[in-house]
Amino acid sequence: MKKFKGNFLIGAATAAHQVEGNNVNSDFWAMEHITGSSYKEPSLDAVDHYHKYKEDIQLLVDVGCNSYRFSIEWARVEPTKGNFDKKEIQHYREVLEFCHQNSITPIVTLHHFSSPKWLISEGGWESEMTIDYFGHYSKYVVSKLGELIPYICTINEANMGKQIAKIMKTMKESSIKDRDIQVGLNVDMKSKMEKYYRSLGEVFGIDPRKVQTFLAPRTEEGERIIMGCHEKARQVIKAMNPNIKVGISLSLYDHQALPGGEEYVEKEQYDDFLYYLPYLQDDDFLGVQNYSRKIHGPNGVVHTDDHARLTKMGYEYYPEALEGVLRFVSKHWDKPMMVTENGISTDNDEERVEFIERALSGVHQSIEEGINVIGYMYWSLLDNFEWQLGYEQTFGLIAVDRSTQTRYPKGSLTYLGDIKKSGF
């Protein structure tokens, strides 16, 4: 039987905006409610984790898991520029204390996609001032909660803006090729987009072309600012409490090459990971986040065929991608790695159990071969708000009836706990 060592962290992850509900001072809340919003539906109460966190964490405890990754919501803690909310920081203290009372190791993320609305009005993630703003926020959190936080992930998927920029570029190129098909839609689409951008400018009080949320396509200057925020936060955290382990998380595909695709793989691996390495040299750990692979041939990405097994999100079902990423990263990173996200959206929980088993088999094999992996956080603890896609996606180990906020633990939650207790 395969079994992880006793100190190996096994648990699940959430993000504040996706589960807490009523994050009314955030940029995403604002964008969910504007005219022409790109969101399928607003987050509203989400799954009310803000009030039901004890019940949710207790479900992790009951099956035998020993860790929980969650984010502190900047928009709650600092709802207006320079004004920190004591009630909200106390809430997160209570979450942390509940974790410790139940032998759950908390892994705290300081920024998970959503930002205070005021930050975007001040220039957002393309503004030099954001480095100082993030530093002030980080200092406040650590000054109030630092003794309760063993691990801090400063920024979730710091490379996501670059990946989104690539997606947008591909979509633009595709639209140019299909221009003749779109002629009939142009007038209506132009009108809708004009209304959307007018609303966007009004809600943030700035030129809509300058609205830079964390998930907006990012420039090279924006990349530098993001990593400057990480470095600033790390500096502040270590100065106040050097015992806290500080890292960052990156979204990493398992890039695989067919003959002729090697150069594409090298470029993608540089863009996704190697570009960021110089900023991470003083980090204590790296958060690895993986959901699937990308196969590259002589003409770039090779798309899956009609017979490929896909997840509900449309990703190729390939749990072994995680092992591939861990092996690649370990060639360039000799410090601890933590799998801060890995999971599957599916309505078939047996498929989720299989995914977890195959993914964790790869993690175990990596550790056996000397790769320094210290934990695995499944995404996600709860079925939740999947950003623009709304509530249709089902990544969770726990289902939620949002009409009553009743929790329904799935068999996959028990399975994950059993792996922690007894192996697989």
- Report how far residue 369's alpha carbon sits from residue 315's, in angstroms, rounded to the nearest whole number: 28
**152: part of which helix (H) or strand (E)?**
strand 151-155
What does each C-alpha distance from 412 to 59, 197, 316, 339, 351 come to in angstroms? 12, 42, 20, 18, 9
- Report how far residue 417's alpha carbon sits from residue 62's, in angstroms, rounded to the nearest whole number: 8
- Report how far residue 73's alpha carbon sits from residue 325's, in angstroms, rounded to the nearest whole number: 29
- Report how far residue 89's alpha carbon sits from residue 53's, in angstroms, rounded to the nearest whole number: 15
Q: Does 341 qualify as catalytic in the annotation?
A: no
Report which of 142, 130, 300 is spatially closest to residue 226, judged by C-alpha positions.
Answer: 130
Amino acid at 98: F
CA angle 230, 154, 243 (to 5 degrees): 100
- Report how far residue 44's alpha carbon sits from residue 32's, in angstroms, rounded to the nearest whole number: 9
Report which of 164, 181, 280 is spatially closest to residue 215, judged by C-alpha positions.
Answer: 164
The one catalytic residue among 20, 157, 323, 341: 157
- Report how far residue 209's alpha carbon sits from residue 129's, in angstroms, rounded to the nearest whole number: 18
CA angle 105, 110, 113 (to 5 degrees): 120
User: Which residues lie below 8 Å from residue 49, measured CB to CB, with a gap of 6+?
Assistant: 14, 19, 20, 21, 56, 382
Q: Which two tokens stand for residue 270?
A: 């540089």
Residues with a known catalytic role: 157
